[in-house]
Amino acid sequence: MSNFKQFLVELQHLHDVYADMGREFLEHLLNDDIAVNVKIDQMAFVVKREGDKLVYLGRQGKVPVTKSKRASMGLYEDAIKHVESRPWRQLPDNVEVYLEHFHAGLKSLVKYTAGPKHGLILSYLKKDGKIIRPDDPLNNKVAEILDVSPPPILFSGRLNEQQKKALIDFVSLDPTARAEKYGSKNFLPFVLSLFTHPQELDWLKQHGYEGLVFYFGREQPISAKVVDPMFTQASRARKRTTASELTNYLNAFFDKYLLEDVTEAANEFVKSSHAKDTEDVYLEFISYLTAVIVRKHAQQLSSIYNHYKEEAQAERFASIAYNLLPSYMKGLTTLHWWAEHLFSTLSYLLKGKQKISKPKGITAERKELINSIIQQLQARGVLECFHSNNIFII
C-alpha cells in the first residue's frame, strides 16, 4: 500500500491507477473495506480550527482563502458567515473539514435542482494529513456542529464479485470505448447498477453525477475517483488556453498606463485607521487604485468594457465582497458596473510576483512590468510584508 499512497499525491482516476499499477493491484484495492461518496461539482471549501482560530482553505486544503481572494470573488462570504455563526470551537483541533459550497453563480457542468443545508455539504475529514473516511462517525458529529449536510455516502463495506467485475470492466476500456459505453446518459444507470441510491440523496441525481470517490481501507484510507467520461472531456474543453479579447485589451491598457497610475495612487494613498493587518492595507490600496484609474480613464474603459460586456459578465460569476472593502467601492461600482471587474483584475495582478501565462496574457515583458510595480510598492511600504499566501484567521 505504501507505493500506492506515494502514487496518489492527489486524487487520481481509478482507470489511471489500473493503467499505472496493474490489474492485480486494483483487485487488491477492491477487495478491501471501502466507502463510496458522490463526487460533487461545486466549489471546494475547507475549514480548520487551530486553537481559538479558524483557517479557511481552498481545493485540496492547499490554497489559503485570503482576504484579498474573498474580496475579489465574494463566493465565500455566505459560507464563512454561516460557519462563524456556529459553535465552531467545538470542532476537533487541527481537523480539516472538506466541504463543497453550493452557490448560484457557479457555472457547474452538473446542475442541481436543490441544495444541501445552508449551501454546504461535507465530503470527508483529514487529521494530521491523513484522510478520515466519510463513513467515520466523526463526520456526522462535525456536520452537526456546523449544521451542514453530512457526506453523500452511496456505499460502505465490501464489494461483491459483480460490483468488482463491473468496476474492472469500466477502468480497463480505452478512453474512447469508455466514453461510448459509460459516458453522459449512460453513467448514472451504471452507478445505480452498482449501488442502491439512498432516498435522502435523490436531489443529487436529478441531472446525473459528475462521478464517485472511493476510499479504500480504514486505518489509513486512500482514495481514487470514477468520473463520467463525458464530464472529463467537457471539463477539459472549458479550460482556456489563450487570453480572451477583453483580457488582451486590458493588458494593453495596463502596459500603457498602469505604472503611471500605480505611482500616482501610491503617492496619494493613506491607509485608514480601520486596517487591522497587511491584507486590509492591500485591499484599501487596490480599492484606491481602482478609483484613480476610473477617475482618469473612465471614458476609455467604458468603451472597452461595454464592447465586451457579455464576456466580462461571464467572467464575473460572483460580486466582490463589499463588507471587506472601503465604503466608496459600492458607489463606484454602481456608477460604473465594470469597476468591479477592474478591481478583481488589479487585485490578482498585484497580489504577488507573476509568472508567464498564456490564458491570462502574461508575456515575459508584461511579467517584468508587473513584478517591477510590485517591487516598487513593497519598497514604498504600500505592500509591506504582504504575501499572497497569508492565511485569513478570525
How high is the pLDDT of residue 178? 95
**Rounded to whole angstroms, how far apart are CA atoms 169 and 18?**
11
Q: Which residue has the higher pLDDT, 328 or 314?
A: 328
Given pLDDT bands bounded at 50, 70 and 90, which one contains residue 388? very low
Q: Are 378 and 264 in contact (CB under 8 A)?
A: no
Q: What is the mean pLDDT of residues 343-367?
A: 81
Q: Which region among 47-56, 226-235, 290-299 has the lowest average model confidence (pLDDT)?
A: 226-235
pLDDT tens column, 238-251: 776 677 899 999 99
pLDDT value at residue 394:
28
The yes-or-no verdict on residue 164 having pLDDT over 80 is yes
Q: Over 60: is that where the pLDDT of 65 sits? A: yes
Mean of the pLDDT values across residues 135-145?
97
Question: Which has more confidence, 132 or 357?
Answer: 132
When pLDDT is averaged across residues 194-207 and rounded to a whole number, the result is 89
pLDDT the model gives residue 18: 94
Q: Residue holding cell 481509478?
A: 14
- Mean of pLDDT values over 233-261: 85
Q: How confident is the model at residue 359 (pLDDT cuts 50, 70, 90)?
A: low
Q: For residues 64 and 62, what is the distance between their CA atoms, to the nearest angstrom?
A: 6
Domain segments of the chain as ranges: 2-238, 245-380
- Domain 2-238 CATH class label: alpha beta
Counting other chains too, the contacts that 348-356 makes at CB distance below 8 Å and 24 or more residues apart are: 348/72, 349/254, 350/262, 350/286, 350/374, 350/377, 350/383, 351/68, 351/282, 351/388, 352/387, 352/388
DSSP E strand boundaries for 255-374: none
Distance CA 202, CA 23 (A): 33
Pairing of strands 12-13, 222-227: parallel
| Mean pLDDT, the chain, integer | 88
pLDDT digits (tens, 9 = 90+) for 313-326: 887 767 899 999 99
Alpha carbon separation from 250 to 242, 258, 317, 357, 370 (Å, rounded): 14, 10, 19, 15, 13
CA distances in angstroms from 56 to 38, 74, 82, 374, listed in the order given: 23, 14, 13, 26
CA–CA distance, 20 with 17 (Å, rounded to integer): 5
Where do the DSSP E strands lie in 209-327? 211-216, 222-227
Binned at pLDDT 50, 70 and 90, residue 356 comes out as: low
Span 70-113, pLDDT tens digits: 999 888 999 999 999 999 999 998 899 999 999 887 777 788 88
